[in-house]
Amino acid sequence: MEDHYSFGIEIEMIAKPKQAGSLSRPQTYYVQFASALRLRGINARADDLSSSYRKRTEEYTRGWWITKDGSISHTGSAIALGAVSPILFTSKDWEAEIDGLWKAQLEVFRMPEKATECGSHVHISPGTARIWTDEQPRNIAVGVARYEEYLAEMLPVARRDNSYCLKNTASSTRLRDLCSHDYSGSALLAAAKDCSRSELIQLMQTDRKVVWNFKPAATGGIGTIEFRGGRHLRGPVRTKRWIAFAVSFTHFLLEAKACTRGRFPPIYSTHDLYNRIRSSATDLALRKYLPLDYNVLNETKRTPQPVRHDLPPFSFPPPAYPREPPPAYTAGRDRGERSESVPAYSRPSCSRPSYSRPHFSSSDLDEWGPWPFNIAYCVLRLLQFVLGLTVAGIYGHAIEVEDGVNIRFGFAEVVAIPSMLTALGCGLYCLYEFHDVWTRNAKRRQWMLELFLAYVQALASHHPCAVLVGNLLTSSTRALWLVLFICSAALDLPDERNQPTLAHTVWLIFVNLLLWLVSAGSSWLIHRHSD
């Protein structure tokens, strides 16, 4: 598993020069841009356009390459250009290169135009050696195909179904057939398992104009996998954001190892996938660049404005706005970039930011979404709590009737009360957080705790099924459980005077045992994919 990645970014932009009209040839502005970068201590070279358009891969190790991009054209006095980064590393100070690029851009050009025909491409390769193993591209490819619809919802509207970044299933008929009627993904995993690098590329695409382009990873290529779904960039904030997104999504797919393990991790919504991507970003120290909500990433929701602590107290009356609509203020965060225009009189209050927890929309909930499962989970925990409380109350009353604590009743109390508290804690935590009930490591061990509690319930019920549960345990712990079973078997059922009530209590314990077995089995089946 990789702990850092190397990457490069191609930024397409159309911008008006600050000295428009004094210079005519576009390559002159390219030279000025490269010179501004070098003055900031950043290596850069400019394309003189003397040869036909081509990407010069030999420039990738020499610094930024300022060139013409064939997919965009000059409009009026605005100059079309592409800025291709050198090889950068997530383990180094790559942010300084991004900040320096945009500062130099402002010295030569004005803010780039909102040109939706522009985009950004992130090339990713593993580690410092930048060499993919045979398994890594397969794991990424099956994940890209599996979560394609969720990923499309995270992209800006202008990049969805764009002719320069089509969905991989729209480019490959075979891939579309594999994904269309296979909910489990088994056919996709089987098709990709034994693919060579060239066969995998043919499976994923017919040309390079797809969201995830695997052709650069072919033998003899530059050794990268290209993400082409990034938006048109106009400043450093969103540049870092889309770099972090592409690299973190790649890291998540490599962690999941779906093709290697033969199964996909359970993901039920776009929100769930985005949370997994943000968790993977934590491993690479990139999480700070990703917003809490993917709707902020794709800019269908506005970024919350920060609190201004330098403002004076409101000791003066609010200003009177003129009758004509006041000038719009910018809701973007890239040096005055306007992600959407909002009238000044409809500004949100600056006293507190409107940070809210991510919410589920109806589009996120499919037939097997998180809500039905978690509601059933909460009901199960409620039943476990009620039964545990009932058993504890009945045996507690029996202890009060008897003069002294009977070992049989005390053992039942010891079993009922911890199981009741466990059910209460699990249920409350499930209500608080629907998706991340435990951290990923705790999720992997939850079923073991459930099985242990189920076995203890079986001991309390004096039921023969305890032997069956004991046989399910590993050989290293079976001896200990048999000793406990023999000790509990020495406890007789209640005497004649309490027989009717406490006999029913034994069946209550047995029902609670079944509920714990259900929760243990469901936890193991759901979370075994994360192991």
pLDDT digits (tens, 9 = 90+) for 334-392: 544 444 444 443 444 343 433 333 433 333 333 334 556 667 767 777 777 777 777 66
Which segments of 174-265 are extended strands (E)? 212-213, 225-230
The pLDDT score that the predictor gives to residue 317 is 47
pLDDT higher than threshold 70 for residue 399: no
Largest CA distance in the chain: 108
Q: Tokens standing for 347?
A: 């500004």
| 397-411 CB burial, b ≥16 within 10 A, e <16 | ebbeeeeeebebbeb
Q: Is 385 helix (H, G, I), strand (E, B) or coil?
A: helix
- From 170-184, 200-214, 295-309, the region with the lowest mean pLDDT: 295-309
Tabulate helix, strand, coil % of the chain (nearest 5).
50, 10, 35
Least confident of 121-130, 454-463, 479-488: 479-488
pLDDT for 529: 45
Residue 19 reports pLDDT greater than 60:
yes
With contact defined as beta carbons under 8 Å apart, do 329 and 348 qualify? no
Note the pLDDT tens digit of each residue in 5-17. 999 999 999 999 9
Helix axes 173-180, 135-146, angle to 10 degrees: 60
Q: What is the pLDDT of residue 125?
A: 93
Looking at residue 71, what is its pLDDT? 81
Decide the pairing of beta strands 88-89 and 5-15: antiparallel
Please, what sign has the CA dihedral across residues 441, 444, 447, 448? negative
Nearest one of 398, 437, 443 to 416, comparing CA atoms: 398
Q: What is the per-residue pLDDT across 254-269, written as a single tens digit (0 to 9) for each?
A: 999 999 899 999 898 9
* C-alpha span between 305 and 298 (Å, rounded): 17
The span from the CA of 312 to the CA of 113, in Å, is: 35
Helix locations, 61-120, DSSP H: 94-108
Tell me what pLDDT residue 385 has.
74
Instruction: Please state, in angstroms and rounded to a whole number, the distance separating the CA atoms of residues 385 and 425.
Output: 10
The CA distances from residue 291 to 236, 241, 273, 435, in Å, are: 15, 8, 14, 18
State which amino acid sits at residue 175: L
- The tokens describing 445, both together, are 């061990």
SS3 label, residue 23:
strand
Task: State how far the alpha carbon of 54 is from the alpha carbons of 184, 198, 209, 230, 366, in Å.
Answer: 42, 23, 16, 21, 45
Which pLDDT does position 407 carry in this prediction? 53
Instruction: Show me where the domains of the chain are located.
Output: 5-297, 367-530
- Give the residue among 207, 202, 210 at the shortest CA–CA distance from 162: 210
Spatial separation of the C-alpha atoms in residues 81 and 72, rounded to whole Å: 8
pLDDT at 169 over 70: yes
What is the average per-residue pLDDT within 235-246? Answer: 96
For β-strands 329-330 and 341-342, DSSP reports them as antiparallel
Which token pair is 130? Answer: 């930048």
Instruction: Report how far residue 236's alpha carbon sits from residue 120's, in angstroms, rounded to the nearest whole number.
Output: 13
Q: What percent of the chain has pLDDT over 90?
A: 36
β pairing state of 79-84 and 212-213: unpaired
SS3 359: coil
What is the model's pLDDT at position 353? 39
Q: How far apart are CA 294 and CA 284, in angstroms?
A: 19
| pLDDT for residue 147 is more than 80 | yes
